[in-house]
Amino acid sequence: MSELAKPRTLKLNKEFKRAYYQGKSKATPFFVCYVIKNRGCGVRYGITTSKKIGNAVERNRARRVIRAAFFSILSKTENHRDYVFVARERILSAKSYQVAAAMKGCLKELERQAVRSKKT
């Protein structure tokens, strides 16, 4: 990330849907990540947790863990991208450093996919 601005959050349903339907995705045991270029808005992120994850306390913990992992790898993210993370049930038993490691690998793989698709 070239600038050190704080990433903004995605709030509108259409922003999430755009990432789901047009973005690149990669699944890990803890979450599913969607990445899509945005229109010069810097880095934005969104986190979703369904009721399948657990009660409100567990869903909030899942969001906190994902947010902490995202901020720990923020310097490795690309600028002008939207990142959407959909929590999976296994995140309830995960530590934030485990999620951060999975996130780092996931984002690296998505970058590789983007480079490969540009070449073809």
CATH number of the domain at 29, please.
Answer: 3.30.230.10
- Closest CA relative to residue 67, chosen from 86, 87, 51, 47: 47
Please write the tens of the pLDDT for every residue from 35-94.
999 888 889 999 999 999 999 999 999 999 999 999 999 988 888 899 999 999 999 999
The SS3 assignment for 8 reads: strand
Report yes or no on 63 lying in a domain: yes
Say how many domains are in the chain: 1
Percentage of the chain beyond pLDDT 70 is: 96
Give the structural domain span for 45. 8-119
Q: What is the mean pLDDT of residues 102-107?
A: 93
* Residues whose CB is less than 8 angstroms from the CB of residue 19 and which lie 6 or more positions away in sequence, other chains included: 10, 34, 35, 36, 46, 82, 84
- Residue 2's pLDDT is 45
Report yes or no on 57 lying in a domain: yes
* Residues whose CB is less than 8 angstroms from the CB of residue 4 and which lie 6 or more positions away in sequence, other chains included: none
pTM listed for this prediction: 0.91
